[in-house]
Structure 1
Amino acid sequence: MTEKDIINKEVHNAFEAIKAGGIILYPTDTVWGIGCDATNPDAVKKIYDLKMRAESKSMIVLVNSDRLLYQIFNEIPETAFQIMDLTEKPTTFVLDKPRNVSPNLIAPDNTLGVRMVTEPFCYKLMERMKKPLVSTSANISGQPTPSSFKEIDHHILDGVDYIVNLHHDKIAAKPSAIIKLGNDMTVKVIRP
């Protein structure tokens, strides 16, 4: 099997789990993530429950195209596109007034974090879903973020519906930078 065949097989398996309302454990362009269909409130709640995380602490979503980005946000500050074009580091943008996603993903201040990904597995999975993918680090709330698959807590491994069988030996990059961009042109770096 070629790497492309393996990725396609994993995309199929992950998609089937997500389509059934499940949650997956998967490699991202940064750290291992727990994810689900960002439009399914029950699946999003499963992630909060698994992580033992308060719903007031919002999670982010991944997208793979401008089309998906505009599906979630009416207004996207031009600064976001300028930063995406210039930076090589994965960057999460916290943007105002999200829509078309599960209400329990949206922060109390009516914002949502979003990151554009090119990582082949994530990209192809969203191509198949035609929806954004929830992404939150694969740890129990308050615990350190695991830098490799083998550091992921058994509670997380046992609690997901599907574990993607890719990159189990890879040490993760650091979590993404986080920048809050307001529609009023304010810019705040949350995590450099």
Structure 2
Amino acid sequence: MDTKVYRINERDEEKIKEAAEVIKQGGLVVFPTETVYGLGANALDEVACKKIFQAKGRPQDNPLIVHVASFDISKYVKYIPDKAKILMENFWPGPLTIIMPKSSLIPDVVTAGLDSVAIRMPENKLARKLIEFSGVPIAAPSANISGRPSPTSIEHCIEDLYGRVDMIIGGERCRVGLESTVVDATDEDIIILRPGFITKEDLEEVVGKVFVDPAIKSEDFKPKSPGMKYRHYAPKAPLKVIKGDTQKVVEYIKENVYNMKRQGKTVGVLIVDEIMDKIDADIKVSLGSIKDPGTIAANLFDKLREFDKTNVDLILSIGFKEDGLFSAIMNRLKKASGNNLIEI
């Protein structure tokens, strides 16, 4: 497939309209959002949406998120639950996906046969213009090969999907850098199915008590969302996450780097600014300062992809206390490592 690549912003409306025509004709367009880049197709076109799964190598039982540019979603849901309305008013447009009972207009391929649909209104202006010009909602997972770290730059998208999609547009780096928070609003209680930039604390400020799917923290539970059972975000080299007292984590990493080097292995470490000088490794990559979780979140996938350009045999990453935005960061690290987590 001949993939067109346009490095544009929201002011380049002619190119966005060209991309919208691709969507209307049943094609695939990669586009930026504030979270990660998305791989989009007409959410009302079953054949077009099937192309998403083929391009990504995505399992068919992993539902897609439907992106909209308007608060008028009545055609796509049976009804909007009261708490979902409150969440929409407070967090849309933005990095929050809300699951609601779906209407018959949404094809089963989008929802993996479930009777609910995940909907979000992106903050990114280019994304919203693309949806508006297309005249249809756009179904879009992250624009990467399934299992790989999610794309936060147009270069990541070109690397993974060039030749697999009709068009790639954008250029800006994603502001948030982690996929949206996903909440289930189909019942009276709001349940977080995937943590993200909108935290549990943020949600509880507007709707009261919010629950967390126990499968997020333990593999002993079956995830409520089918897609969460899969390994995601993984770099090519094995990744191990070490969590605990900072000094003990530093000592553990130093010892393991030393032992691996003695075996002739190349080790990469994924750490924070505060301990960069305390660890000697073949390749050191900092996520940013521990005092700035927003920067760490925005850097995570990009830094994981950096290791793919090296010959490391193992990546050792520092872990974080799971609260606030660090809950989402740790969720991605654990998924990327296949839950290879050492707590010390």
TM-score normalised over the length of structure 2: 0.50
Q: Does 1:147 align with 2:116?
A: no
> Does the CA-based 8 Å contact 2:29-2:40 persist in structure 1?
yes
Displacement, 1:148? 1.9
Change (3 A) 1:125 1:151: closer
Displacement, 1:64? 1.2
Change (3 A) 1:81 1:175: same
Change (3 A) 1:160 1:3: closer
Displacement, 1:144? 1.5
Q: Structure 1: any 5+ residue segments left out of the alignment?
A: none
- Number of positions where the alignment pairs a residue of Structure 1 with one of Structure 2: 186
Q: Return 37-46 or 79-88, whichever deviates more.
A: 79-88
CA distance in 1, matches of 2:64, 2:185: 17
Paired-residue identity, %: 29
CA distance in 2, matches of 1:49, 1:28: 22
Partner amino acid, structure 2, of 1:9: E
Match of 1:157 among 162, 176, 200: 162
Displacement, 1:139? 1.2
Match of 2:183 among 176, 179, 182: 179
1:48-81 deviation per Cα after TM superposition (whole angstroms, max 9, x unaligned): 00111121111111011122x1110021112112
> Does the CA-based 8 Å contact 1:32-1:172 persist in structure 2?
no
Q: Does 1:72 align with 2:73?
A: no
Q: Return 168-177 or 50-59, whichever deviates more.
A: 168-177
Q: Does 1:91 align with 2:96?
A: yes
Displacement, 1:35? 0.1
CA distance in 2, matches of 1:188, 1:171: 26
Task: Report the secondary structure of 1:36's partner residue.
Answer: strand
Change (3 A) 1:3 1:137: closer
Moved over 4 A (4+): 2-5
Partner amino acid, structure 2, of 1:74: K
Higher relative contact order (Cα pairs below 8 Å, separated by 6+ residues):
1
Displacement, 1:86? 2.8
> Does the CA-based 8 Å contact 1:139-1:153 persist in structure 2?
no
Q: Does 1:51 align with 2:73?
A: no
Task: Report the secondary structure of 1:43's partner residue.
Answer: helix
CA distance in 1, matches of 2:9, 2:148: 33
Q: Does 1:23 align with 2:14?
A: no
Change (3 A) 1:153 1:123: closer
> Does the CA-based 8 Å contact 1:98-1:106 persist in structure 2?
no
Displacement, 1:107? 3.0
Q: Return 27-36 or 123-132, whichever deviates more.
A: 123-132
CA distance in 1, matches of 2:109, 2:91: 30
> Does the CA-based 8 Å contact 1:35-1:134 persist in structure 2?
yes
Displacement, 1:108? 3.3
Q: Structure 2: any 5+ residue segments left out of the alignment?
A: 1-7, 196-344
Q: Return 13-22 or 82-91, whichever deviates more.
A: 82-91
Partner amino acid, structure 2, of 1:186: D
CA distance in 2, matches of 1:116, 1:110: 20
CA distance in 1, matches of 2:31, 2:108: 23
Partner amino acid, structure 1, of 2:192: V
Displacement, 1:113? 0.8
Match of 1:9 among 11, 14, 30: 14
Task: Report the secondary structure of 2:119's partner residue.
Answer: strand
Which has more radius of gyration?
Answer: 2
CA distance in 2, matches of 1:128, 1:139: 24
Displacement, 1:83? 1.7
Q: Does 1:188 align with 2:209?
A: no
Partner amino acid, structure 2, of 1:59: L
> Does the CA-based 8 Å contact 1:36-1:134 persist in structure 2?
yes
Change (3 A) 1:86 1:106: same
TM-score normalised over the length of structure 1: 0.87
CA distance in 2, matches of 1:171, 1:180: 25
In the other structure, the counterpart of 1:106 is: 111
